[in-house]
Amino acid sequence: MILVLAGGVGAAKFLEGLVQVVPPDQIVAVVNTGDDFVLHGLMITPDLDIVTCTLADLIDREQGWGLAGDTTACLEWLGKLGGPTWFTLGDRDLALHIRRSALLREGWTLSQVADSFRQALGVAVRIVPMSDDPAPTHIVTDAGEIHFEHYFVQRRAQDRVHGVRLHAAGPAQPAPGLLDLIAQAERILIAPSNPVVSIGPILALPGVEAALHASAAPIVAVSPIVGGAAIKGPAAPLMRAMGYEVSALGIATIYAELADTLVIDQQDHDLAAPIRALGLQVVVTDTIMRGPVEKARLAACTLKDTGNRN
Ligand code: FO1
């Protein structure tokens, strides 16, 4: 089984490549829930939905989130009635949040909801939230400490970032069975997601880093930073706020103690030597996931044997 630590859009695209080169039922995606928040009285889980709906080929490919061809009649009426409209929730998208919220109120766990939804949508990849407990990511800004989605979407990532608080609602436990999945994995992949607010929340769960270190599986990460910039999302300001250089080398310093191999883009080939100096093996390739062929090629790169464990 191949375990993939995943955030949102970049991870979803990477998984679309992986399912082309590995039987989907051999893949388990452990998904960040730090973006999750309540809006309109509904439990919204952006990264779980992005991964599930992308693998179900239902995603809006322009945006990387939301459902293709979705309408926003309900959102318009929510606005008329004084509800918040800063977070675009389409009519079909709302069905996910309404149904999820109802099941959670009936006592289902987020793991059970996520598994029920991916099966209902015909996704063969197992999708596991990182935790069934609330584990919101807060961003510390000039305007105070705010939830990631308020920082990133409502306030358009305009605030100066002073820090990040993971699991801001208190201790969160790894989802049931997650530590066993890490122990059983034959290979562990860290998708090209935001290392601070997408992968960070997963690694910060008690026992996860220890389980990863104890695993005999090769751990391969894909840099989400290409040519000194993120392909999408707020990785740059967040990495800067945490004191990391915004480059593939900065990514290497984050994962140096954990991963065996880092896959970087050919634009960053000159960073291969300093990254190797950190003790990581390096694979230099085209990491821009333009289409299905590039996604499959990138995924195949993370499956090649690049030598022994760290
Ligand atoms: N991102 C935005 O920038 N604007 C939105 O209005 C928005 C709505 C949205 C609705 C459902 C969903 O699953 C994701 C959504 N996202 C939106 C993406 C969200 O901000 C993600 O958490 C980030 O892209 C980071 O993964």
Read off the pLDDT of residues 171-212 as tens digits, 9 standing for 90 and up.
999 999 999 999 999 999 999 999 999 999 999 999 999 999
User: 70 in ligand 1 pocket by Cβ < 6 Å?
Assistant: no
Question: Cα of 43 to ligand 1 centre, how many Å?
Answer: 14
Bridge partners of residue 145, in order along the sequence? 140
Nearest atom of ligand 1 to the alpha carbon of 149: 20
What pLDDT was estimated at residue 231? 87
Tokens for 49, please give them.
Answer: 């939905």
Per-residue pLDDT tens digits for 43-93 = 999 999 999 999 999 999 999 999 999 999 999 999 999 999 999 999 999
Tokens of 294: 């590039």
Label residue 120 by pLDDT band (50, 70, 90).
very high
Q: Which of 32, 54, 65, 71 to mutate to test the pocket of ligand 1 (most atoms within 8 A of CB)?
A: 65
Largest CA distance in the chain: 60
For 224, residues 6+ apart whose C-beta sits below 8 A from its C-beta are 10, 192, 193, 194, 195, 230, 231, 235, 251
Distance from residue 9's CA to the centre of ligand 1 (Å): 9
Q: What is the pLDDT of residues 252-268, one digit of tens each?
A: 999 999 999 999 999 99
CA neighbours closer than 13 Å in the CB half-sphere of residue 35: 27
* Predicted pLDDT at 309: 54
34 ligand 1 Cβ < 6 A: no
Residue 4 has pLDDT above 60, yes or no: yes
**Which residue is closest in CA terms to ligand 1's atom 18?**
65
Q: What is the mean pLDDT of the chain?
A: 97
Residue 46 Cβ inside 6 Å of ligand 1? The answer reads: yes
In the prediction, which pLDDT does 305 show?
80
Task: Specify the 3-state DSSP secondary structure of 166.
Answer: coil
What pLDDT score does 232 carry? 85
Closest approach atom of ligand 1 to CA 53: 13
**Token pair recorded at residue 194:** 């935001």
Structure confidence at residue 297 (pLDDT) = 98
Overall average pLDDT of the 12-30 stretch: 98
Q: Which atom of ligand 1 is nearest to the CA of 232?
A: 24
CATH of domain 1-34+47-55+109-310: 3.40.50.10680
Q: For the residues 29-42, what does the mean pLDDT come to?
A: 98
CA distance 310 to 306: 11
